[in-house]
Every structure is written in C-alpha cells, then in structure tokens.
Amino acid sequence: MPKTPRQRPGRAHLLGLGLDNKDGHVRVTQGENFSIFSGSDETHERMQRSCIKLNEKLARKGRRLDDATHEEVRDLLAEME
C-alpha cells in the first residue's frame, strides 16, 4: 500500500535555540509564531530580529508563516544574512 504524503500541521512555528549562553541568564522570547530560547544576549537579539523581519517580509507579500513554503522561508532568511 503506497504511503500518502504527510500533511502540514495547521500552524507553522519557528523555534530558535541559542547554544552560546555563558552568563547563566535565561532568555525566552515568544511571538505569535516563534519561540526563542537561551543564547547569549547578542545571539538571542539576532534571532529575535530575524523572526520579526521574516514576519514583516511575509506580511508585505500578503502572506503569513502558515502559508509560506519551506523554500520561501529559507530564501527570505538567507536574504537577511
């Protein structure tokens, strides 16, 4: 019996995990469609900016993260580097 393709869940969510935290400070930021945990102050802030900019770029296109393809999200994030 052939396998059917998995359907995408109804809600997309970005997860950021910083692994360079040396000061012991717990950093957690949650947005409408993203969650960011840990990382140094600089790394955490960079992940925040990236998530916010991604949402802004999608909104300018009239789209949301739920509607975007993996490739589209990857390309938009690559433009920010």
Asked whether residue 29 carries a pLDDT value surpassing 80, the answer given is yes
pLDDT confidence band for 2 (50 / 70 / 90): low
Please spell the DSSP secondary structure of 28-80, one letter per residue.
EEE-SSEEEEE--HHHHHHHHHHHHHHHHHHHHTT--GGG--HHHHHHHHHHH
Answer yes or no: is pLDDT of 5 > 70: no
Instruction: Specify the pLDDT at position 80.
Output: 85
Of 5-9, 33-37, 73-77, give the lowest mean pLDDT range.
Answer: 5-9
Q: What is the mean pLDDT of residues 7-29?
A: 89
- Looking only at the bridges linking them, the beta strands covering 14-18 and 34-38 are parallel
